[in-house]
A and B are shown apart, each in its own frame.
Chain A
Amino acid sequence: MSGAVVRAAAAPQQVGEPWVNITIFVAFVAVTLVIVLRASRNNKTAAYYYAGGRSFTGPQNGTAIAGDYLSAASFLGIAGAIALNGYDGFLYSIGFLVAWLVALLLVAELLRNTGRFTMADVLSFRLRQRPVRMAAALATLAVCFFYLLAQMAGAGGLVALLLGIEGTGGQYAVVAVVGVLMIAYVLIGGMKGTTWVQIVKAVLLITGAAAMTVWVLVMYGFNLSSLLGDAVQTALDEGSTNAEGLLGPGLQYGLSTTTKLNFLSLGLALVLGTAGLPHVLMRFYTVPDAKEARRSVVWAIWLIGLFYLFTLVLGYGAGALVGPAAIRAAPGGANSAALLLAYELGGTLLLGFIAAVAFATILAVVAGLAITAAASFAHDVYASVIKRGQVDSGAEVVVARRTVIVIGVIAIAGGMFAIGQNIAFLVALAFAVAASANLPTIVYSLFWKRFNTRGALWAIYGGLVSCITLIAFSPVVSGKVDPATGASLSMIRDTSVDFAWFPLENPGLVSIPLAFFLGWLGTVTGRPEPDHDTLQAEMEVRSLTGAGAEKAVQH
């Protein structure tokens, strides 16, 4: 064991030099702002503002998807989970990856062929426009809201580690800075600027993770077995009683039947949620055609898969080289594992780089969420539901830009409220809503001829309401007490308040099948629209052939 454990344990408030972290981060912001300004020309029309003129190539978009998808929660969170819980952290990343096959096979190309800007374009294609768009927009906004809160809270937590700020004032300031930068990127750069921020961030993140991975592997002579052995040995040296458990499943999820069901529920939400995440779906509109949408997903799968393989090495590397005790003692807890490993390997400079990348990650993800939520409000709620389609694309973009500011303010306020909340739970909730409210409706509307408006509304609202209700009455919100310390592990810290009756922390196991069932039940009890057959024929022909699909905007 090296001296880092001692250093980190002796001075748990601060690792590295805050000014180095801040300098590298400011450099990233400066570079991306220049890119965003350059990308801001031509942002007058909806096709430019929402979809970057549909002119990105598959590889570019695939990289941006990776940048959009690999949030700070997955980078810092998974590495930390592997460092502390070993194999169970790895399980998490597998769900995030396999989920992309759903997007590749069932969704990406068909969605690109039939929609223009939002998920609701596809869901409402052959159904009654206004109610279905409204429902789809609400589901979109709910997912974006939970995901935004998670990222904002993550930004606040990250700064605790990097700047040694423990008080809430400094964390509030960081959340505000992230929010203002997000507004600037999206307001100025639209989808084109946001995409480039995501591409730059993905390249930095994957390069940084790759460098650290190779570094760790070199230290162990490229022998994965000895790295794993050392992780177990470090835990044993620290007096862990279940260090052997790091290499197999069960440390986190294997405690009881309830935790096992929790794990199944999470696994289901992860694998079905990705292809229903509105900010991921919207990225498919930024390429010229379905073939490029397919290439995007292929690139994204390779990048995301490689990245999760890196996190496996980084997680066990942090367990072996930094040690679980020092990670738990650090201000960010499990989330600090990757950062402490960077410090252990490359000192202040590498820590500064990885920390800046983590910040950049949060920025890129929140920008993607903000433009998705703004597009959904302006295009679906304002233009289609309120104005009934009688609005030109310039006016719609004006509304979208104003919405971005509102969303930014909500995200800042919500992020301040969410500081200290369990980030993984917020992300899991976003995935559960996406898998319950969005995915069943997408699949039915693309593949089930008979599917009708009532089925769509029942599936979307059923999935959305059941998710949020079950979460509200789950141990995540109230009544979960740490048996050892008696401290509350719930959102409501007062242990005397307990209105939880739903035992699982993730609602997916119930809400996803329920939404599929309601979609079926609504359809068989509902009536088809008068033009059901014509629209179904048009949608099916267009989705499979690409006839009449939106083209790239010509310069």
Chain B
Amino acid sequence: MSIADRPAAPVPGRPPEGRDTFAGVQASEDFAALRSSFRRVIFPTTAAFLVWYATYVLLAAFAPDFMGARLGGSNITVGLLFGLGQFVSTFAITMAYRRWADRQYDPAATALRERVEAAGVQR
């Protein structure tokens, strides 16, 4: 397997002796903190929206009477509200994630990236 097969790695022309490696970066505390902050946000969020979607789909399939019930004297049904709720939750998660990523994640990731690239890290 040649290096040419892979997406370009940084680093042309750095001396090979005493260099940093990706494994070294991966083992560093800063990187561990970045990775766990990322996973602490995306894993629970993913689990939450999948459960919420599954609840909705299962209710629609197995509780059609509940989902078809009208609200008050209107033609709006419980199921319609649940469905619109999926839209609202999707938009809300999108905006919340974007806000977190722009404000919290990006500065930390960028700082680490600049250090990695400045040090000419390679495999």
Report how far A547 CA is from B119 CA in the complex, Å.
11
| Contact partners of B80 in chain A: CB under 8 A | 87, 90, 228, 247
Q: Please tell me which one of the listed residues A104, A116, A271 contacts residue B97 in the complex, with CB atoms under 8 A apart.
A: A104
Contact A544 B109 (CB under 8 A): yes
Report how far A109 CA is from B109 CA in the complex, Å.
12
Contact A547 B58 (CB under 8 A): no
Contact A541 B22 (CB under 8 A): yes
Confirm or deny: A121 has a beta carbon within 8 angstroms of a beta carbon on chain B. yes
Q: Beyond A98-B53, A229-B75, A249-B60, is A121–B7 a contact (Cβ under 8 Å)?
A: yes
Contact A291 B57 (CB under 8 A): no
Number of interface residues of B (CB under 8 A): 64
Q: Chain B's nearest CB lies how many Å from the CB of A136?
A: 14
Report how far A268 CA is from B69 CA in the complex, Å.
25
Contact A248 B123 (CB under 8 A): no
Q: Chain B's nearest CB lies how many Å from the CB of A413?
A: 34
Q: Please tell me which one of the listed residues B7, B46, B57 contacts residue A550 in the complex, with CB atoms under 8 A apart.
A: B7
Q: Which of A92-138 contact B (CB under 8 A)?
A: 94-95, 97-98, 100-102, 104-106, 109, 114-116, 121, 125, 128-129
Contact A248 B9 (CB under 8 A): no
Contact B23 A389 (CB under 8 A): no
Contact A105 B113 (CB under 8 A): no
Confirm or deny: B17 has a beta carbon within 8 angstroms of a beta carbon on chain A. no
Contact B5 A384 (CB under 8 A): yes
Q: What 0/1 readout, one digit per residue, does chain A (489-508) give for beta carbons within 8 Å of chain B?
A: 00000000000000000000
Report how far A291 CA is from B97 CA in the complex, Å.
12
Q: Chain B's nearest CB lies how many Å from the CB of A70?
A: 16
Most buried by A among B6, B102, B110: B6
Q: Beyond A249-B60, A384-B5, A550-B8, is A301–B90 a contact (Cβ under 8 Å)?
A: yes
Contact B86 A97 (CB under 8 A): yes
Report how far A97 CA is from B53 CA in the complex, Å.
11
Q: Which of A229-283 contact B (CB under 8 A)?
A: 229, 232, 244-245, 247-250, 253-254, 260, 263-264, 267, 271
Most buried by B among A90, A115, A125, A538: A538
| Contact partners of B11 in chain A: CB under 8 A | 548
Report how far A125 CA is from B1 CA in the complex, Å.
11
Contact A249 B64 (CB under 8 A): yes
Q: Chain A's nearest CB lies how many Å from the CB of B94?
A: 5
Q: Chain A's nearest CB lies how many Å from the CB of B13?
A: 15
Contact B98 A298 (CB under 8 A): yes
Contact A94 B112 (CB under 8 A): no
Q: Chain B's nearest CB lies how many Å from the CB of A216?
A: 15
Q: Please tell me which one of the listed residues A226, A264, A538 contacts residue B22 in the complex, with CB atoms under 8 A apart.
A: A538
Report how far A189 CA is from B83 CA in the complex, Å.
40
Q: Please tell me which one of the listed residues A125, A384, A548 contacts residue B10 in the complex, with CB atoms under 8 A apart.
A: A548
Report how far A114 CA is from B22 CA in the complex, Å.
14
Q: What 0/1 readout, one digit per residue, does chain B (59-93) give for beta carbons within 8 Å of chain A?
A: 01110110111100011110110010011001101
Q: Please tell me which one of the listed residues B7, B35, B50, B93 contacts residue A544 in the complex, with CB atoms under 8 A apart.
A: B35
Q: Chain A's nearest CB lies how many Å from the CB of B58?
A: 7
Q: Please tell me which one of the listed residues A254, A260, A305 contacts residue B91 in the complex, with CB atoms under 8 A apart.
A: A305
Chain A, Cβ-Cβ closest to B87: A305
| Contact partners of B75 in chain A: CB under 8 A | 224-226, 228-229, 232, 247
Report how far A301 CA is from B34 CA in the complex, Å.
26
Contact A250 B94 (CB under 8 A): no
Contact B61 A545 (CB under 8 A): no
Q: Chain B's nearest CB lies how many Å from the CB of A545?
A: 4
Report how far A106 CA is from B39 CA in the complex, Å.
10
Report how far A105 CA is from B76 CA in the complex, Å.
32
Chain A, Cβ-Cβ closest to B68: A248
Contact B26 A389 (CB under 8 A): no
Report how far A253 CA is from B8 CA in the complex, Å.
49
Contact B7 A264 (CB under 8 A): no
Contact B21 A537 (CB under 8 A): yes
Q: Which of B92-123 contact A (CB under 8 A)?
A: 93-95, 97-98, 101-102, 106, 109-110, 112-113, 116-117, 121, 123
- Mind listing 7 A-B residue pairs with CB under 8 Å? A101-B94, A249-B60, A254-B64, A291-B102, A541-B121, A544-B35, A545-B113
Given A297-B94, A547-B112, 6 more A-B residue pairs with CB atoms under 8 Å apart are A102-B46, A244-B68, A249-B64, A388-B5, A389-B5, A541-B116
Sorted from nearest, which 6 A-B pairs have the closest CB atoms?
A: A248-B68, A228-B75, A538-B22, A249-B60, A548-B10, A250-B64
